[in-house]
A and B are shown apart, each in its own frame.
Chain A
């Protein structure tokens, strides 16, 4: 029983990171209606920025955090301007391929600048862990889940209460109509990307604090899981991204922990199999709404 609960908590730990990344995915998708495959790579760049500013520039920790978020947000802004904006009228799949190109680009730039070898952080956020009845839960997980809740609530408030937020909502519903209402589409989507990438920056900080490592492929590796999480939760839904991420983390922990003998070699496959079964049962994800086409 204790092992089961521990494994469940491991799943939550891992899932919280997927959720954090999926949040950015889903938010950008919700407004701009595009799968930003390069989201994970923005996190990777953010993590490198953090690494450089901590270990090489030796800046004070809060400054490094700020720098990481600013660099990520700027990167998101620039990428959107250069690579996605010209494709505003293109099909989603064309944008998807371009995003994959951007993802390759960022990976290979990182490879050239930082080399292929993984960089390890010196511990910069020492939080220890909480012990409950022989099960230890790392504090960082609380920080991650807490941050996520704050971000979620913040985003909801931002979208519902501010003028820019309402504009974003309008753009997500109907671009043409929003434009007729005098909303600047390009500016709104730019802001969406800035916020999404700033979230990537925050994810980079928490990811680095948890795993203390970064390499050029960090982003693409967990990016695919985060993508799965975002879709599984119901793409475009912020709470969905969170639940989806956590559930995928739990599937993984369970398949890692409880597959007998040789089957453990295929634990990845079993986790994906659970995902498929769930989606066959619920074809639009957990929180996804079925869009009924008006005939």
Chain B
């Protein structure tokens, strides 16, 4: 079954077509890659998917439901969560709190019940605490639970961002360059983790990446973007051999 369907998606800033006539279909449970040279519009696609920008043309369907032009909040509730190329953690909150924020909409007690500390509130907070700790354990961050997010080393910050995104129980997880700034050793670990996460949380993953080894290693299918346009699409190994793709990456 198709989880995500993007049809003729396009956006222009001023006169510039940043993304044009973009089509993509992802099936449930896939690990899908989105690649392309710098400035090809990959992050813009993510921004369109998560409601940061409104598309000028085209439609986006998640599980058959039209989410085009919806706000980020609604899109998150519909089941999409993401990480960012330039890490965006809540720096002055602890690691644990970061994940708890991700769990925001999973418990729904109101302001009044928090002020009066009603029994429902206590039970909900306990569940939040437990789930958050579980998530941290998955990413082996439990030792750092009470440290400030900004004090974590770079690699752990990336992990935390993924944990936080997963906390909101997405069906589709968007990872924007998860391996950026990591050494080969860390990247290898990351690959393992992405696979593990996909299984454990039963989540579909779409990721942007420059590290071809990673892409080749874990993505079943990929799409290549160039100058905002779709260049190639299909099974990873064969797409990477496509002369147009090689040309786009290496230049003329």
Interface residues in chain A, defined as those with a beta carbon under 8 Å from any beta carbon in chain B: 294-295
- Interface size, chain B (Cβ < 8 Å): 5
5 contacts between A and B (CB under 8 A): A294-B86, A295-B43, A295-B47, A295-B52, A295-B84
Residues of B within 8 A of A294 (CB): 86
Q: How far is the CB of B94 from chain A (nearest CB, A)?
A: 20
Interchain CA distance A295-B84 in the complex, whole Å? 7
- Residues of B with C-beta under 8 A to A295: 43, 47, 52, 84
Instruction: Tell me the B17-75 residues at the A interface (CB within 8 Å).
Output: 43, 47, 52
Nearest A residue to B86 via CB reads A294
Q: Name the prevailing secondary structure of the A interface residues.
A: loop
Q: Which residues of A contact B86 (CB under 8 A)?
A: 294
CB-CB < 8 A to B47: which residues of A? 295
Measured CB to CB, the closest approach of chain A to B205, in angstroms, equals 19
Residue of B nearest to A294 (CB): B86
Report the minimum CB–CB distance from A220 to chain B (whole Å): 33
- Across the two chains, which residue of chain A brings its CB closest to B85? A295
In angstroms, Cα B13 to Cα A294, docked, is 13
Query: Complex Cα distance A202/B178, Å?
Result: 56
Instruction: Say how far B19's CB is from chain A's closest CB, in angstroms.
Output: 14
List 5 A-B pairs, minimum CB-CB distance, nearest first: A295-B52, A295-B47, A295-B84, A295-B43, A294-B86
In the bound assembly, the distance between CA atoms of A294 and B84 in angstroms comes to: 11
Residues of A within 8 A of B43 (CB): 295
Q: Give Cα distance in the complex from A294 to B44, angstroms.
A: 10
What residue in chain A is nearest B44 (Cβ atoms)?
A: A295
Cα(A294)–Cα(B52), bound, Å = 10
Q: A185 to nearest B CB, angstroms?
A: 24
Assembly CA distance A26 to B86 (angstroms): 31
Quote the shortest CB–CB distance from B245 to chain A (angstroms): 26
- Interface 0/1 of B67-94, CB less than 8 Å to A: 0000000000000000010100000000
A225 to chain B, nearest CB (A): 35
Return B150 CB to nearest CB of chain A, in Å.
Answer: 15
A-side contacts of B84, CB under 8 Å: 295
Closest B residue by C-beta to A292: B13
Q: How many Å lie between the Cα of A294 and that of B86 in the bound state? A: 9
Q: Which residues of A contact B52 (CB under 8 A)?
A: 295
